[in-house]
Amino acid sequence: MLNIQSKLPGIGTTIFSVMSKLAAEHNAINLSQGFPDYPCDPKLTELVSKAMKDGFNQYAPMPGNPFLKETIAEKVEKLYRVKYNPDTEITITAGGTQAIFTALAAIINPGDEVIIFEPAYDCYAPTIKLLGGQVKTYELAPPNYDIDWDMVKKLFTSNTRMIILNSPQNPTGSILSEEDMKLLIKLVSGTDILILSDEVYEHLVYDEQKHTSVMLFPELKKRSFVIASFGKLLHATGWKLGYCLAPEPLTKEFRKVHQFNVFSVNSPMQQAIADYIKEPGNYSGIATFFEKKRDFFRGLLAESRFELLPCKGSYFQCASYSKISDEKDTDFSIRLIKEFGVATIPVSAFYQKATDHKIIRFCFAKENLTLESAAKKLKNV
Ligand code: PMP
Ligand code: GLN
C-alpha cells in the first residue's frame, strides 16, 4: 500500500457533484447545483461554429484573445466607468474557479491568513489550505447575513494577507452595499492586504439595486483581483470561461501562475464570446430575466411550509425548514430527494464547521415548468 500523504485530509467530493448525482439516481428535479436547465442563445453557439470555421483552433495568446479582452474592457468601462488595460490588467481564464485558484496561488505563502465569510462558496477554503495558508472565518448569521466590519477587524493579524468577498453571494443571495465598501476601505487602507472579489453574479442584482463592485472604489480597486464568469452571463456554465481583472502589478503575478497552470483557454469560444458581448443587448436583460424567475419561484413557495430568506442577488433562494423538521440539513436534503423528488443544497456545506441553521439552497435558474413541478412537490413537505 502506498503511503499517500493527502494535502487535503478530510475533504471529500464537492457537495454540487454529490447532490447532482443523487438527483440523477433518484430521478429528482435538480434545484441543487447552480446551472440553467434551458439552452443558451443559439446565436452564441452559431458564433462558436463560425469561430471554428474561421480558424480559431490553435492556442489563443496566453493572457487571452485580444479582441475579447478589449471587449471586456469596453463592457467594464460602460457598466462601472472604470478602466482596465486589456494588455496588462485583464486575463481570460477557464472559468471563475481557475481564476480564484490562480489568484490565490499567486499570492498566498505558507502561514498567510485569508479572511472568508461563511457560508462561502466551497472552493475558497480548500484552495487556501492547499497553498499552506490559514483560513480565518467570519460566520454570517441568517436571515440577512450582514457583515459587522468591527468584528472583521478583530480577525486581522500581522499575517493577514487577503480578504475574499463574494457579492452577490453564493449561497445566501445577499449583496454588499456602498456602506460595506466604505467600512472595508477604513479597515484596509494603509495596509498591504489584498482582496479577491468574486463577482461572478455581478449582473444578477434585483429590486433596482446596483451591483457594488470593489472596482468602483480606487482604494479597493488597486488591491483587488476581480473575478467574473461567462458561465453565468451567457447561461452556459459548461463552457468554463471567465476572467480576472487586476491592476498591472497584481496581474503580473497572476499571469506568472496562469501561464503554467493552463497557459491559455479555449480559443474559438473566446472569439465567439467577444462577438456576442460586443452587442450589450445580448445580455442587458439578464437581471430582469432572473428577477422574474426569483419572484415566480418565491410566489410558488409561499404556499409551502418553507420560510423564504431574502434574495437580493444571484440565482439562489435560501429557505428555512425549521418549522418542518429538526433534522440535520444534510439528512433533510437527502430525504427531500428520496421522498419528495427535489434536490437542493444543505447550506451547512458552505461552512467549514458544518454550521447547521436548518437552511437549504434552491437554484431557480430553471424553466418555469421545472420550478412549478418542483414547487408542487415541495408543497407536500
Ligand atoms: N464563484 C461563485 C460564487 C460561484 O457560484 C461559482 C460557480 N458557479 C464560481 C465562482 C465558479 O465559476 P465557474 O463555473 O466559472 O468556474
Ligand atoms: N456554482 C455552482 C453552485 O453553486 C456550481 C459550481 C460547481 O458545480 N462547482 O451551485
| Residue whose cell numbers read 473566446 | 270
Residue 374 and residue 381: Cα distance in Å, rounded?
11
Of 17, 80, 65, the closest CA to residue 343 belongs to: 17
Residue 35 and residue 31: Cα distance in Å, rounded?
9
Q: Would you say 225 and 197 are in contact if contact means Cβ atoms under 8 Å apart? A: yes
Cβ of 46: how many Cβ atoms within 10 Å?
13
* Res 183 pLDDT > 90: yes
Q: Render 143-155 in DSSP notation, one character per residue.
A: TT----HHHHHTT
Q: Render 282-305 in DSSP notation, one character per residue.
A: GTTTHHHHHHHHHHHHHHHHTTSS
Whole-number Å distance, alpha carbon 373 to ligand 2 midpoint, is 22
Residue 293 and residue 70: Cα distance in Å, rounded?
32
Q: Which residues line ligand 2 (CB under 6 A)?
A: 14, 16, 33-34, 170
Of 340, 345, 352, the closest CA to residue 15 belongs to: 345
Whole-number Å distance, alpha carbon 170 to ligand 1 midpoint, is 9
Whole-number Å distance, alpha carbon 3 to ligand 1 midpoint, is 33
pLDDT attached to residue 10: 87
Residue 83 and residue 75: Cα distance in Å, rounded?
10
For residue 121, give Cα distances in angstroms to 257, 281, 349, 366.
22, 30, 9, 20
Whole-number Å distance, alpha carbon 15 to ligand 2 midpoint, is 9
Top CATH class, 42-282: alpha beta
- Exposure on the CB side of residue 185, measured as CA atoms within 13 A: 16
Whole-number Å distance, alpha carbon 334 to ligand 1 midpoint, is 23
One-letter amino acid at 22 equals: L
Q: Domain ranges in the chain?
A: 15-40+284-378, 42-282
pTM: 0.97
- Which residues have C-beta within 8 Å of that of residue 240, sequence separation ≥ 6? 94, 95, 97, 98, 231, 266
Please state which architecture CATH assigns to domain 15-40+284-378: Alpha-Beta Complex (3.90)
Q: Which atom of ligand 1 is nearest to the CA of 100?
A: 10
Distance, C-alpha 235 to centroid of its chain: 14
- In this chain, the answer to whether the domains covering 15-40+284-378 and 42-282 adopt an identical fold is no
* pLDDT 10s digits, 77-117: 999 999 999 999 999 999 999 999 999 999 999 999 999 99
Ligand nearest, relative to CA of residue 227: 1
- Which residues have C-beta within 8 Å of that of residue 153, sequence separation ≥ 6? 187
* Res 161 pLDDT > 90: yes
Q: In testing the pocket of ligand 1, which one of 97, 164, 237, 239 has its CB within 8 Å of the most ligand atoms?
A: 97
Ligand nearest, relative to CA of residue 232: 1
For residue 228, give Cα distances in angstroms to 142, 298, 352.
26, 27, 24
Q: Which residues line ligand 1 (CB under 6 A)?
A: 34, 95-97, 121, 166, 170, 198, 200, 229, 231, 237, 240, 242
* pLDDT 10s digits, 321-378: 999 999 999 999 999 999 999 999 999 999 999 999 999 999 999 999 999 999 999 9
* Res 309 pLDDT > 90: yes
% the chain with pLDDT above 90: 99
Band of pLDDT at residue 189, cut at 50, 70 and 90: very high
Helices 267-277 and 42-53 sit at what angle, rounded to 10 degrees? Answer: 130
Q: In testing the pocket of ligand 1, which one of 121, 199, 244, 290 has its CB within 8 Å of the most ligand atoms?
A: 121
* pLDDT 10s digits, 265-283: 999 999 999 999 999 999 9
Give the residue-averaged pLDDT of 182-190.
Answer: 98
Whole-number Å distance, alpha carbon 16 to ligand 2 midpoint, is 6
Of 28, 16, 9, 8, the closest CA to residue 346 belongs to: 16
Whole-number Å distance, alpha carbon 159 to ligand 2 midpoint, is 30
Cβ of 116: how many Cβ atoms within 10 Å?
22
What's the mean pLDDT when you consider all of the chain?
97
Ligand nearest, relative to CA of residue 233: 1
H/E run at residue 22? helix 15-25
Q: Would you say 350 and 120 are in contact if contact means Cβ atoms under 8 Å apart? A: yes
Residue 118 and residue 352: Cα distance in Å, rounded?
8
* pLDDT 10s digits, 67-76: 999 999 999 9
CA 246-224-61 angle, 5° bins: 20
Q: In testing the pocket of ligand 2, which one of 22, 35, 227 has its CB within 8 Å of the most ligand atoms?
A: 35
* Phi, psi for 99 (deg, rounded to 5): -65, -40
Burial class (CB in 10 A: 0-12, 13-18, 19+), 288: exposed
Distance, C-alpha 121 to centroid of its chain: 7
Band of pLDDT at residue 140, cut at 50, 70 and 90: very high
Q: Which atom of ligand 2 is nearest to the CA of 363?
A: 10
Burial class (CB in 10 A: 0-12, 13-18, 19+), 336: buried
